């Protein structure tokens, strides 16, 4: 986790600069006016990872300046993390300092919290964990009222649950999400709600069926499911697929099918290149896809997936990398025009730009 200089008084000006930079980068595509969604100025990160630095008998949370992972900066306060994390993390640190069993060869602490105050803490070690660790960790689990995980090489010990349950209010509708430790979830819950609401607004009149690639734990899937006749969502990570299935059942959503496939594999399936056993219960020819939603990793879309998504009238592209989004738009705007574009300030006080475009076939 790199240093974020949290200064609420400067936030508005920094967001204006970030918006201007994004608009400038995409000027050649003649997009409509950029829609900008601001983050809370403090306590906006629901998950965080901290290195633990040992200095003799002392240990502390450490951050690092960008590009320098060897010079630790001691963390004495952390206003960017959720209030729940900040409340617990320093009490936890004192407990770790007081216990050789809990602190010995500890190198990282991960936190995963929810808006409702649930908290999961993972302690990572460079040594095997024995019964003595479990005994010490049990007291920590009970006293701090947190779920607790100990990890070392090929070892995972869980006290409580290895997931939290997040509940988001999206357009007056409560959606519950299981979020599993060590798997991807949106870090800024307030911005995530705005992303989901925006996605609903942009697809409100699309109709037909939705194809979603890179669905994760069903973040967008759940929020958009009631706006389409049916949804087919794909995801390669098994843990995320299982969470998505759990979340669909938890929220009583019945018009969604999940396929554990990569975007490349799904492209091959649609082209009839080869059959997949993981699709044996899904009739692809029965879908009337009008809209495709992609939320790819930083590398963006591969050539096959780019060609696939161009076949649909509406493309909703959520991106964590303006550079790869701009690269992909060079192809996508040959067949589609940008109807709407948004900046979601997922990581305030940083250069990171989370953006999304809604493309409509020309």
Q: Record the tokens describing residue 246, joined without a space.
A: 């759990």
- Residue 26 CB partners (closer than 8 Å, separation 6+): 322, 326, 329, 341
d(Cα 305, Cα 288) in Å, to the nearest integer? 18
d(Cα 181, Cα 164) in Å, to the nearest integer? 8
Q: Is residue 174 flagged as an active site residue?
A: no
DSSP structure string for 198-229: HHHHHTTTT-SEEEEES-TTTHHHHHHGGGSS
Q: Is residue 78 flagged as an active site residue?
A: no
Q: Count CB-CB contacts under 10 A for residue 137.
A: 22
Angle at 39 between CA 119 and CA 330, to 5 degrees: 115
Helices vs strands, H then E, count in the chain: 10, 17
78, 206, 215, 320: the catalytic one is 320
d(Cα 36, Cα 346) in Å, to the nearest integer? 11
Give start and end residues of each alpha helix (H) in the chain: 8-25, 83-97, 100-103, 131-144, 189-202, 219-224, 238-250, 263-270, 303-309, 322-332
Q: Count CB-CB contacts under 10 A for residue 56.
A: 5
Tokens 């948004």 locate to 342
Catalytic machinery residues: 320, 354
């Amino acid at each position: 986790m790199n240093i974020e200089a949290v200064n609420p008084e400067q936030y508005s000006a920094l967001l204006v600069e970030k918006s201007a930079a994004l608009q400038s980068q995409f000027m050649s595509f003649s997009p409509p006016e950029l829609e900008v969604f601001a983050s809370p100025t403090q306590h906006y990160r629901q998950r965080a990872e901290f290195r633990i630095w040992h200095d003799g008998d002392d240990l502390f949370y450490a951050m690092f300046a960008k590009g320098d992972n060897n010079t630790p900066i001691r963390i004495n306060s952390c206003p960017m993390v959720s209030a729940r994390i900040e409340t617990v993390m320093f009490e936890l640190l004192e407990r770790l300092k007081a216990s050789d069993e809990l602190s010995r060869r500890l190198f990282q602490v991960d936190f995963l919290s929810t808006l409702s105050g649930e908290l999961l803490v993972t302690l990572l070690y460079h040594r095997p964990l024995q019964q003595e660790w479990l005994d010490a960790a049990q007291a920590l689990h009970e006293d701090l009222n947190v779920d607790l995980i100990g990890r070392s090489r090929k070892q995972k010990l869980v006290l409580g649950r290895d997931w939290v349950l997040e509940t988001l209010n999206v357009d007056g509708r409560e959606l519950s999400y299981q979020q599993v430790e060590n798997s991807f979830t949106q870090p800024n819950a307030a911005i995530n709600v705005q992303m989901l609401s925006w996605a609903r607004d942009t697809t409100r009149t699309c109709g037909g069926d939705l194809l979603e690639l890179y669905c994760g734990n069903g973040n967008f899937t759940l929020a958009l499911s009631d706006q389409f006749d049916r949804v087919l969502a794909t995801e390669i990570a098994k843990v995320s697929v299982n969470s998505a299935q759990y979340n669909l059942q938890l929220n009583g959503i019945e018009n969604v099918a999940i396929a554990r496939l990569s975007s490349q594999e799904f492209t091959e399936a649609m082209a009839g290149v080869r059959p997949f056993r993981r699709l044996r219960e899904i009739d692809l020819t029965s879908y009337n896809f009008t809209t495709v939603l992609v939320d790819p990793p930083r590398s963006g879309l591969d050539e096959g997936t780019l060609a696939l998504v161009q076949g649909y009238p509406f493309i909703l592209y959520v991106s964590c990398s303006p550079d790869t989004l701009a690269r992909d738009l060079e192809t996508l705007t040959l067949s589609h025009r940008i109807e709407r574009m948004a900046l979601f300030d997922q990581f305030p006080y940083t250069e990171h730009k989370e953006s999304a475009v809604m493309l409509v076939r020309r």
